[in-house]
Structure 1
């Protein structure tokens, strides 16, 4: 029987109870990784862990809580023996125009986005270094490069900050064998469905601008891509933003 490309790797996925996080966790597990699923609703991440199999476990954590991040990461390292892969997926999204997004929502976006991303990366770094390296996948969005930023400024600001942290971590930790990447996915997630319901006309026009004419599937499209990026075939790729959006956004512009 052939060895799976992520056999023996230990992965942490935040926000893994549904949507993109769940899809990524399932794909990583299918390719051999043992997955720790972190989320605010323990029942959801435990359900995903059961789907994953291969010794996967769910852990409760509020990613806006610095001490909770430290505790959960320590629990994963104690239970599984270390960390090789980190996927920072969980995020509260501050959508709306500047006059509609409250300070509280904007702060929550930063606390659950770039601040939590940096805390999670730092919490996992030592273990990755001890194990000879690792891969960190952070989630950004094509909202950061929209030609019309109306209604997306706070969200784009949060995601742009994550991109900057990814570039910094890739540069600073590359000598330790840690690769750090962004993905910018469009996926059939609960968040996208809520957006479609709230803005049906905008959503219809939006989908027509996707060259492949479909939204990505959480597991088969986004999860499989992440599993590949974490594998040996991409061992020389770091510091980049990978658009998983059917060719819609022009990150090269």
Structure 2
């Protein structure tokens, strides 16, 4: 394989990151832009996308996108492809907190529907919408962001667990289906990470959990997840597909 095919640079690549106004999506968008990719920063929160794009500089381009809306995906992805001049990289990161007890009635049903719409159905819709351009790329990469909740479960979290478990399965299925096109599809499973979703957890509770459950005895930072995603979207990452990679400080490895 040529040195071009094994390049460890994303400079000039065209990328979409969903849920990029904050947390891991923001960190990923900033990192890709810093590394020279042209990045579509997408989120329901357009003002947040604009703030990220301002911070990232001229390589970042804000787009309002609610991935829970199929019509929005179908219209926005072609706009992004036109603006960037193609699509080489898709990072499906958008997520929502989805705790709900089983006996919560209509609240549970609403939480379930929203969780699957945003964190599972949206992933396949984004892939299908981007596919015409990904197939034209010489190093097409898809990364789906799941969670260690897709590898295990926390009480009261079944909608989130179901959605993230589905992402793991979807990743493997897409990897098999798209392998013939040279498109790699991989899955990152973050564990306890400092994001807006975990901000409400008191610091002392975070410390107790991290000491009890993780090998590294701490929460991770969004940037630590972003760097794993970057590794998976490099042109050189050409023979890894269908992989499910925990980024969890050793949470899944630790029994006691």
TM-score, length of structure 1 as denominator length: 0.90
Cα-to-partner distance string for 1:157-202 (whole Å, 9 max, x where unaligned): 11111111111110000111111111011321110112x14x964x
> 2: CA distance between counterparts of 1:43 and 1:210?
35
> 2: CA distance between counterparts of 1:133 and 1:95?
37
- 1:179 aligned onto 2:217: no
Q: How does 1:21-100 map to 2 (within 5 A)?
A: 21-100=25-104
Kindly indicate whether the alpha-carbon contact (under 8 Å) linking 1:183 and 1:244 is maintained by their aligned counterparts in 2.
Answer: yes
Q: Secondary structure at the match of 2:185?
A: strand
- Once the two structures are TM-superposed, the CA of residue 96 in structure 1 deviates from its matched residue by 3.0
RMSD: 1.9
- 1:128 aligned onto 2:131: no
* Pairs aligned (count): 244
- Once the two structures are TM-superposed, the CA of residue 232 in structure 1 deviates from its matched residue by 3.0
Q: Secondary structure at the match of 1:233?
A: coil
Which sits farther off after the overlay, 177-186 or 96-105?
A: 96-105
- Once the two structures are TM-superposed, the CA of residue 5 in structure 1 deviates from its matched residue by 0.4
TM-score, length of structure 2 as denominator length: 0.89
Looking at secondary structure, tell me which structure has more helix per residue: 1
> 2: CA distance between counterparts of 1:78 and 1:84?
13
The match for 1:238 among 212, 236, 241 is 241
Aligned match of 2:3: none
Q: How does 1:190-205 map to 2 (within 5 A)?
A: 190-194=196-200, 196-197=201-202, 201=205, 203-205=206-208
Q: Which runs of 5+ in 1 are unaligned?
A: none
Cα-to-partner distance string for 1:82-129 (whole Å, 9 max, x where unaligned): 111111111123113222352011100011111100100111111010
- Once the two structures are TM-superposed, the CA of residue 246 in structure 1 deviates from its matched residue by 1.0
Aligned match of 2:161: 156
